[in-house]
Amino acid sequence: MTNRSTPPTFDENFREHFHDLLVWRRDVREFRPDPVKDDILDGCLQLACQGPSVGNSQPWRFVHIRDQDRLNKLAHYFKDENQKALSDYDGEDAAKYARLKLSGLREAPVQISVFADTNTTAGKGLGSRTMTETKVYSVISAIQILWLSLRSHNIGLGWVSILPPDKMAGLMDVDENWVFVGHLCIGYPVEQTDIPDLVKKNWQKRLPMDRFLLQR
Ligand SMILES: Cc1cc2nc3c(=O)[nH]c(=O)nc-3n(C[C@H](O)[C@H](O)[C@H](O)COP(=O)(O)O)c2cc1C
């Protein structure tokens, strides 16, 4: 899709579709093996790179992992960390946690690790002097755009954080100062649903809006 020169007008029809996109976005852990076309993935990454960033520093760094050895090591890291996480729970929660599927590392056809280059000179430090973490926030904004853009192509994304952050730059052979933000499993979902998996599996229900909105 090319950038247009005249500003678009967003109408009710668009808003309905956009609403559906937001409500039917899901964190996906079960993927079909069908490949994702390179041009679709590139287009979504391009949009992610148009996201907001502190001082326009564009600190996002995407590592598209193609090497099977790296993927195997990643899956082992996940297994170890997930086992440690399981040991934090007892009783019914432990049994429930053990049944959860918390990554598509073995199935998703596209695997991307995302880092923040918090030392980038782009943006000349504007906006991040008081809050250095804003570079990481910028990367999270880009991931959210990637998530929604992919979903608009009926492609799912699953965010994996059950990984050792201190080992990720080494595994990916990137600058050791880059901050690991998350690993993304990407592909066509087995199922489309408007209900989060952790709600379905009775782990954590959605909470009412009045818990989050304060009036002063
Ligand atoms: C920062 C972040 C880290 C996450 N890490 C994981 C993870 O390691 N494994 C997993 O299965 N889901 C992970 N998720 C997905 C959440 O579990 C999911 O977003 C939440 O349960 C709500 O479901 P929904 O995204 O389908 O609405 C993560 C989400 C975020 C935003």
Atom of ligand 1 nearest to the CA of 140: 1
Q: How far is the CA of 5 from the centre of ligand 1 (A)?
A: 37
Give the residue from 183, 166, 164 showing the smallest Cα distance to 61: 183
Note whether 118 and 140 are within 8 A (CB). Answer: no
From first to last of the 216 residues of the chain, give the pLDDT tens digit. 667 789 999 999 999 999 999 999 999 999 999 999 999 999 999 999 999 999 999 999 999 999 999 999 999 999 999 999 999 999 999 999 999 999 999 999 999 999 999 999 999 999 999 999 999 999 999 999 999 999 999 999 999 999 999 999 999 999 999 999 999 999 999 999 999 999 999 999 999 999 999 999
Instruction: Look at residue 4 in the predicted model and tell me its pLDDT.
Output: 78
Instruction: Look at residue 129 in the predicted model and tell me its pLDDT.
Output: 92
Longest dimension (CA), the chain: 59
Q: Whose CA is nearest to atom 25 of ligand 1?
A: 27
Instruction: Look at residue 5 in the predicted model and tell me its pLDDT.
Output: 87
CATH top-level class of 36-203: alpha beta
Alpha helix segments (H runs only) across the chain: 12-24, 38-48, 68-86, 91-99, 134-152, 165-172, 197-200
Instruction: Look at residue 35 in the predicted model and tell me its pLDDT.
Output: 98
Q: How far is the CA of 27 from the centre of ligand 1 (A)?
A: 6
CA distance 23 to 201: 18
Q: What is the pTM of this model?
A: 0.97
If one counts every other C-beta atom within 10 angstroms of the C-beta of residue 146, the result is 25
Give the residue from 67, 61, 41 showing the smallest Cα distance to 157: 41
Which residues, at least 6 apart from 10, have a Cβ–Cβ distance to it below 8 Å? Answer: 18
Q: How far is the CA of 161 from the centre of ligand 1 (A)?
A: 8
CA distance 166 to 171: 10
Instruction: Look at residue 2 in the predicted model and tell me its pLDDT.
Output: 65
Domain parsing of the chain, residue ranges? 36-203
Note whether 59 and 53 are within 8 A (CB). Answer: yes
Ligand 1 contacts (CB < 6 A) are: 26-27, 29, 102-103, 159-162, 182, 196, 198
